[in-house]
Structures are given as C-alpha cells and as structure tokens.
Amino acid sequence: MLLVVIDTLGWAGVIFCLMAYLLITYNYVTLDHWLYQLLNIAGAAGLITNALYYHDKPNIWVNTLWVLITLGRMFRWKWLSKMRK
C-alpha cells in the first residue's frame, strides 16, 4: 500500500511539473502567477517524496533546489509588493 502512495505522489509530481511547463510555454500564465508557482512546488514535493523512498539522490537534490528557488521567488515578490505600498 505504501508503495502505491509513493508512486502516485511521484507521478502526480511529474504531471504538476509538466502542467506548469506547458502553462508557461504557451503563455497561459506568467512567471509570477500563483498557479505556476503552486504547480512547481507541488510537483517538486511529489518528486522529492518519491525520490526519498527510492534513495534517488540526484532527483532529491534537483527538486529540493527547485522548491527553494520557487519559494525564494515567491517571498521576493511578497517583499517587493510590501515595499511598493
């Protein structure tokens, strides 16, 4: 049962990352759109969970950095929006 959950989270992560990529590539959203950022974080979280279970260190590293970059960008936007007020 645990294996099914882990694999489902991994595949959901793949789908979320691909959805974010498609949305940005075809200009349905911009880089600062909340949906794009949410899909990036959710996708990376699913892939990290799967990679931790399978001890896939390169995947863990790249997706952890992906989340940190996304969060850093989100906090920067929040900070900049406060500074403009």
Domain boundaries, the chain: 2-84
**pTM score:** 0.84
> 80: pLDDT confidence band, cut at 50, 70 and 90?
low
pLDDT digits (tens, 9 = 90+) for 13-59: 999 999 999 999 999 999 889 999 999 999 999 999 999 999 999 99
Convert 27-47 to b/e letters by CB count within 10 Å (16 or more is b). Answer: eebeeeeeebbebbbbbbbbb
**Count helices and strands in the chain by DSSP H and E runs:** 3, 0
Give residue 17's pLDDT: 96
